[in-house]
Amino acid sequence: MTSHVPGGVPTAYQDTFAHDRLPPADALPHFDFSGTPELAAYSDHMNIATELLDNALQQGFGDNAVLHLGDVSWTYNELLDRANRIAETLTLDCGLVTGNRVLIRAPNTPMAVAAWFGVLKAGGICVTTMPLLRARELQYVIEKANVSIALCDADLAEEMVGALELTDSIGSTLYFSKAGSGGEAATMETACDSKSGTFSNINTAADDVALIAFTSGTTGQPKGAMHFHRDILATADTFGRYVGKFTPDDIVTGTPPLAFTFGLGGVTIFPMRFGASTRFLESPFPEHILETIQKYKITQIYTAPTAYRAMADMVKDYDISSLRQGVSAGETLPKATWEAFHQATGIRLIDGLGSTELFHIFVAASPEEMRPGFTGKAIPGFKARVVDDGGDEVPPGTPGLLAVQGPTGCKYIDDLDRQPIYVRDGWNYPGDVYEMDEDGYFKYIARADDMIISSGYNISGPEVEAILLEHEAVAECAVIASPDPDRGNIVKAFIVLKEGFTGSDDLVKALQDFVKNEIAPYKYPRAISFIDELPKTQTGKLQRYRLRDQETG
């Protein structure tokens, strides 16, 4: 198919806020649809809700299970009914017009998925957020995306209410239960009860924006990555089809939230593309993951290396013979972790490299092709290479910047400063230093920026610094990744105190609690070191690399 942004097939959206804030044509990456027969066959119009949900019934999957949580299981038919009722509610009760942005705030639950599809059916744009975000973080997302409607799990109402007090952007807010059971607080289910359960999906262009995924960046402010309807399908038709190799018999589970594109793809998009089902976890702890695999005969799991490290030591006490495949992403999979899990289970884990900007994994290898210590090769549909600072390809075995092209690519919302950093000469630069061997296998070397990847979470060092600097005791600070055997890295803060304050264990705890109360708790510094001065250049620029060298030296 042809890319139509800007120009080409007109957007179906009445509200063109997102479309108008796409990067200009010369700042977009090159989109390549020649890599697989499926990509080449895409039409100019598609609605991802039609492709994944409505069409599942046409393929005979209507009575198949699609989502499970605890004792609750939904079929594709039941999910379609819920999504249609939500789409009706959004248009009739909330006044949604096509192109409106809708915030979805929820853990991984059936109703969160129904809300997601309801928004897309109605021609809205999903802005799904991490359940742990605080009010001030939600405020930034709401205002950056100009969100006008919010759909929130009733159990997460407190921070949602706090965010609503900070901004006047949102006109309608509805609350829902986890599995559609209703209740006094579930205003969305109440509204849906009176709806018909039928809805004609908006005929969106393939390159109309379907979602805006926010991720922390090195500047400390989250960046909104826009994805088209076709982008979402393309990830299923590349990784899901050729590496994940999903079948209707698969039962999938995983720990990443749906607000992470890794989670959205692995535990929702990919299974539904192939008529499979997903069991959402009620607890992310390794022992519960193993119990879930054993009890419900899980066949595929998506999680971070941290979980695989822990499960390798516990798995002897569980029967996980149903599990045929594990996918690791969020941070590089250490060779020792791969080998430990393989030795304990016989499973050859897939190490996947992806990014929010490209939606999902673009470098990986199927289990039989995996090489421990390597991430893999460019997956079908994508091209990848290692280049120097000038964009020229370097010889095998030479470290350099990873550059990627394929059917998806970076499209930041209204961010002309960051867009040319990520996209150069039509290539996407995810910010990783890699080297490639002569067989085309990529080996991870390091991050090229100040992003901290801990237990699969992306954490912006400058964002944590900004919060610490709000504390009365902190004069200066620097936050970096510190190697950790269990989490890959942890967040570590180096702090220069103001006069009158003395470093102590009590102050460490007070600073950690302060961060937890202001931003998502997983971002807090697990280690704090009090120092007299921070390393800087002669012009006063902070030299974080010297602190990183100190930690790894």
What are the tens digits of pLDDT across the range 463-472? 788 789 889 9
Average model confidence (pLDDT) for the chain?
92
Average pLDDT over residues 254-259: 93
pLDDT given for residue 67 in this prediction: 98
Average pLDDT over residues 86-113: 98
- Which two structure tokens, joined as six digits, stand for 185? 């607080």
Among left, alpha and beta (phi > 0; psi -120 to 50; other), residue 69 is: beta
- Residues of the chain above pLDDT 70, percent: 96
Q: What letter would DSSP give residue 258?
A: T
- Which two structure tokens, joined as six digits, stand for 292? 């879930």
Cα-based distances in Å from 35 to 237, 384, 406: 11, 12, 8
- Which two structure tokens, joined as six digits, stand for 507? 């102050």
Check pLDDT > 50 for residue 480: yes
Check pLDDT > 90 for residue 446: no
Sheet holding 300-303, edge to edge: 72-75, 65-69, 277-279, 251-254, 300-303, 325-328, 350-351
The C-alpha atoms of residue 297 and residue 65 are separated, in whole angstroms, by: 14
Average pLDDT over residues 382-397: 94
Average pLDDT over residues 429-454: 86
Picking from 200, 274, 209, 213, the residue whose alpha carbon sits closest to that of residue 242 is 274
Does the domain at 451-552 match CATH 3.30.300.30? Answer given as yes
Do 350 and 304 meet the contact criterion of CB atoms below 8 Å apart? no
Longest dimension (CA), the chain: 71
Average pLDDT over residues 390-412: 95
pLDDT given for residue 538 in this prediction: 46
What are the φ and ψ backbone dihedral angles of 144, each rounded to 5 degrees?
Answer: -65, -40
pLDDT given for residue 332 in this prediction: 78
- Of the listed ranges 241-255, 337-351, 535-549, the one predicted with least confidence: 535-549
The C-alpha atoms of residue 415 and residue 212 are separated, in whole angstroms, by: 13
The C-alpha atoms of residue 265 and residue 284 are separated, in whole angstroms, by: 18
Cα-based distances in Å from 532 to 5, 254, 426, 461: 52, 43, 45, 20
Those residues whose C-beta lies under 8 Å from the C-beta of residue 250, and which sit 6 or more positions away, are 271, 274, 276, 277, 299, 300
CB atoms within 10 A of CB 424: 17
Do 218 and 449 meet the contact criterion of CB atoms below 8 Å apart? yes
Those residues whose C-beta lies under 8 Å from the C-beta of residue 171, and which sit 6 or more positions away, are 94, 95, 148, 149
pLDDT given for residue 448 in this prediction: 74
Q: Mark out the alpha helices in 146-269 (DSSP H runs).
A: 157-166, 187-193, 229-235, 261-264
Check pLDDT > 50 for residue 217: no
What residue type is 385 in one-letter code? R
CB atoms within 10 A of CB 187: 20
Do 228 and 144 meet the contact criterion of CB atoms below 8 Å apart? no
pLDDT given for residue 330 in this prediction: 79
Check pLDDT > 50 for residue 550: yes
The C-alpha atoms of residue 205 and residue 199 are separated, in whole angstroms, by: 18
Helix (H) or strand (E) holding 176, with range, is strand 172-176
Taking the model in full, what pTM does it have? 0.85
For the chain, the domains span 230-446, 451-552
pLDDT tens per residue, range 16-57: 999 999 999 999 999 999 999 999 999 999 999 999 999 999
Q: With 0-12 CB in 10 A as exposed, 13-18 as middle and 19+ as buried, what is 404?
A: buried
The C-alpha atoms of residue 388 and residue 436 are separated, in whole angstroms, by: 13
* Residue 10 pLDDT class (50, 70, 90 cuts): low
- Of the listed ranges 146-150, 208-212, 224-228, 368-372, the one predicted with least confidence: 368-372
The C-alpha atoms of residue 247 and residue 251 are separated, in whole angstroms, by: 9
Do 270 and 244 meet the contact criterion of CB atoms below 8 Å apart? yes
pLDDT tens per residue, range 481-514: 999 988 889 999 999 999 999 999 999 999 999 9
- Of the listed ranges 162-166, 323-327, 337-341, 522-526, the one predicted with least confidence: 337-341
Average pLDDT over residues 361-390: 94
- Which two structure tokens, joined as six digits, stand for 10? 């007109």
Fold designation for 230-446:
Rossmann fold (3.40.50)
Those residues whose C-beta lies under 8 Å from the C-beta of residue 74, and which sit 6 or more positions away, are 65, 66, 67, 68, 82, 110, 179
The C-alpha atoms of residue 413 and residue 18 are separated, in whole angstroms, by: 7
pLDDT tens per residue, range 169-212: 999 999 999 998 888 899 999 999 999 999 999 999 999 999 99
* Residue 543 pLDDT class (50, 70, 90 cuts): confident
pLDDT given for residue 544 in this prediction: 80
